[in-house]
Amino acid sequence: MRCLPLTQRPVPTGSWRVCRQPDPVTAADDDTDLYEASQLADQLAEMDDQLHALSGQLAAATQAVTDREQRIKDLFADLDARTTARITLRLQAFGDAAQEPSPFTQALVGSVDAQNAQI
């Protein structure tokens, strides 16, 4: 058995923490460290590029939403202006007609007044 777990035994310097044998892994050479650092730097640069692209897309989407909201407000204002110009005149005509008593209404009011006078 190569490795025996250490419980309360001291671990000699240069040994694995769970084994009493020397650590077979030596320190990595400089080329490996430089390669890994280069790979990590490339990954960071790629993530920065993606973040920049996403920020641009978010800004474009936000602007599109703002433009659409403004367009909707403009369309509602245009619709209100058109409706006001057409419908308000008709409603005014109906209102004026409603305020003028019709001949039937005049006859009915006269009949009621006549009955009240007899009482």
Quote the DSSP letter at residue 34.
Answer: H
Q: What local confidence, expressed as pLDDT, does residue 66 receive? A: 95
**Region 103-114 average pLDDT:** 72
**Nearest-angstrom CA–CA distance, 70 and 46:** 36
Q: Is the pTM of this model over 0.85?
A: no
**Nearest-angstrom CA–CA distance, 61 and 41:** 30
Domain ranges across the chain? 1-98
- Greatest Cα pair distance, the chain, in angstroms, is 129
For residue 22, the cross-strand partners are 15
Q: Judge whether residue 35 has pLDDT over 80.
A: yes
